[in-house]
Amino acid sequence: GRVWTKVSSLTDELKDHAVLIRGRAQAIRAVGKKMAFLTVREKGYTVQCVLTVAPDLVSAQMVKYATAISKESFVDIEGIVTVPPEAIKGASQQVEVQVRKIHCVNRAAPVLPINVEDAARSEVEIEKALEAGEQLVRVNQDTRLNYRILDLRTPANQGIYRLECQVSNLFRQFLLNEDFVEIQTPKLTAGTSEGGAAVFKLEYKKQPACLAQSPQLHKQMAICGDFGRVFVVGPVFRAEDSYTHRHLCEFTGLDVEMEIKEHYSEVMDVVDRLFVEMFDNLNQRCQKELEAIGKQYPFKPLKEAGVEVDPLGDLNTESERTLGKLVLEKYGTEFYILHRYPLAVRPFYTMPCPDNEAYSNSFDVFIRGEEIISGAQRVHVPELLESRATALGIDVKTIASYIDSFRYGAPPHGGFGVGLERVVMLFCGLDNIRKTSLFPRDPRRLEP
Ligand code: ATP
Ligand code: AMO
């Protein structure tokens, strides 16, 4: 086969080389009949291709053919890499391709519901363009989601989902290195795990069932089955009633469960090392992605450091954010853990504090003042588990096999659950979780 060059690897090192590229026609501009500029985009990277009528380059017919190609069509281009003296605006690559051959592989419809170039602009760029009297359509969130595959082609989205892939990859790598076993847990379950309201009910062969609200019960049962340290990566379903910037009806849960020897701080220690290592790695490995995201959605890099804070009382979204600001001012970090939550605000399986039963051996982890992780030591005594569940209005018949698992000798254990989309949203300082879910499911959206 022929040798293909990626648009992302078109740099001045290839000066004067002949290259063959395939990408999308993002923008086409004719200058008279003898010249045209074509911006070709491949996976978020763009290069300016120049068509000039000349004996060793292209014919006038070729220029006409090129200018008729509809935006977002796939094109193959053969040409020579040149380095222009001045910076190229509107392209990620700072070289040009002098076209010798152009071929349209597959055409896009002439009218598109979203102009990808417009969808890729930052708020500041939009404001400037509008002031300059440019014709431009601001692409709103719903339109982006309705025509998601077009929106996904923007450099920022190309960066977001590549970064998200790295988050789950780094999560997995770190835990495998620390002797954790990856397990799969059922998503069709008989009972709820996090409390009754936010659950999708369904019928399972005439028996009432629901979509798993978390792998909570089964990851604990794997501990009772002697796996010692386990983790799960998979879908989690919550029938959220309210429409917020940070709740989805289906999200990706990164869940961990482990035996503990003496104290639930052993679990917090894993969280701390896992996330500090993850964030360092993301900053190193995903520079291009972070740059592309930051260009459309400017954000400041996360400040990390290790500190412990001990609060009293529950928090709401507003107080979480206020606390986030205070912690940043006082401790210089935007990544922190709060622990010893009041027992009353935690799920039934949470271990009460041995010194004061009003509190619990639990914690939440925050980035920029918003929760990304919940975790705790669990109750491993079946009688206590049963009475806690009953007290919180859970029908113990629906979780009988879970409670029974603790009757045959269960080790002290704890764990935590992370929302993948939340981590990416807050790491990048994005304002809405729909920006980090490829095909989001929320109370109003089941499509595309
Ligand atoms: P999250 O906190 O993100 O909801 P969670 O499932 O652990 O995750 P809780 O721990 O019950 O939820 O909620 C923590 C705080 O988040 C609550 O005190 C509340 O202020 C806020 N919150 C939770 N659910 C909603 C919601 N549906 N709409 C707005 N705020 C919410
Ligand atoms: P919790 O309910 O706090 O804990 O969920 C764990 C983490 O999942 C994320 N999350 C969500 N993300 C998007 N949309 C939602 N509707 C949503 N709800 C939660 C958050 C949250 O921190 N079983 C426990 C975990 C454990 O103790 O191991 C649990 O599910 O990032």
Contacts of residue 309, Cβ cutoff 8 Å, sequence gap at least 6: 327, 331, 336, 337, 338
Q: Tell me the C-alpha distance between 350 and 400, whole Å.
A: 17
- Is residue 193 part of the annotated active site? The answer reads no
Name the residue with tokens 């086969």.
1
Q: What angle do CA 149, 152, 156 make, to 5 degrees?
A: 170
Q: Tell me the C-alpha distance between 275 and 270, whole Å.
A: 8
Residue 102 confidence (pLDDT) above 70: yes
At 319 the pLDDT is 78
At 313 the pLDDT is 55
Single out the residue of 361, 353, 354, 342 nearest to residue 415, CA to CA.
Answer: 361
Outline where 178-264 has alpha helix (H). Answer: 216-224
Task: Please provide residue 286's backbone torsions phi and psi, each rounded to the nearest 5 degrees.
Answer: -115, 35
- Is residue 247 part of the annotated active site? The answer reads yes
- Is residue 240 part of the annotated active site? The answer reads yes
DSSP state of 239: -
Residue 109 confidence (pLDDT) above 70: yes
- Determine contact, residues 355/310, Cβ cutoff 8 Å: no
Name the residue with tokens 């397990």.
183
- Is residue 238 part of the annotated active site? The answer reads yes
| Distance from Cα 243 to the centre of ligand 1, integer Å | 12
Mean pLDDT taken over the chain: 94
Q: Tell me the C-alpha distance between 39 and 262, whole Å.
A: 61
Residue 93: strand, helix, or coil: coil
Name the residue with tokens 């705790």.
376
Mutation pick for ligand 1 pocket among 236, 320, 371 (CB with most ligand atoms within 8 Å): 371
User: Burial level of 67, CB count in 10 A (0-12/13-18/19+)?
Assistant: middle
Residue 307 confidence (pLDDT) above 60: no
At 318 the pLDDT is 78
Q: Give the active site residue among 42, 117, 334, 371.
A: 371
| Distance from Cα 254 to the centre of ligand 1, integer Å | 18
> Per-residue confidence at 41, pLDDT binned at 50, 70, 90?
very high
